[in-house]
Amino acid sequence: MDFIRTAIPDVICIQPKVYGDHRGYFSETFRKDYFEAFIGTSIDFCQDNESKSAYGVLRGLHYQIPPFAQSKLVRVIKGSVLDVVVDLRKDSETFGKHVAIELTEENKKQLFVPRGFAHGFVVLSDEVIFSYKTDNYYNADAERGIAFNDPALNIDWKLDLEALKLSDKDKALSLLSEAEVFTKSEFCNG
């Protein structure tokens, strides 16, 4: 596995090694020992989630507030998405900045989203099967979000914004300037 720091160094792109032949392929999608050695801390993923979505569906930008904040390790099993991560740590040099990476079934890239970041994706293929691990359990009362089209974020979602399909909940998310944000230490892993 190759671990690559993005423009926001705490957000890590992971490129698993893929071994293929006439039968198909094999790939290790997660190795706790390699992962922890790279990030320099322990992590205990406790919940796996999977979603299926059609072209143009946008899910996000979501996060959970402490003490229910979550780190995520996200990947695409089928199809492709533009995956977006926004830094919500108000004392960070990259507060309000984002990273956008295309995750596909072909490139097998994964993205590590630490606590303190909002996360979302838009489906670029006819359909997608999206999978992710979290290091804390989902808590509905702790769920928050940032509007995908907040002008302060200036995210290029790669699709016509009028054609996007959002849940009613995601259509009502607040701007970053109105969001509940915390310091790095309040979002820390552990």
As annotated, the active-site residues are 62, 132
Q: Which string of b and e fits 49-85 if b means at least 16 CB within 10 Å? A: eeeebebebbbbbbbbbbebbbbbbbbbeebbbbbbb
Which strands form 12-15's sheet, in the order they lie side by side? 2-5, 12-15, 110-113, 72-78, 127-134, 47-54
Q: In DSSP terms, which residues pair with 5 in a beta bridge?
A: 12
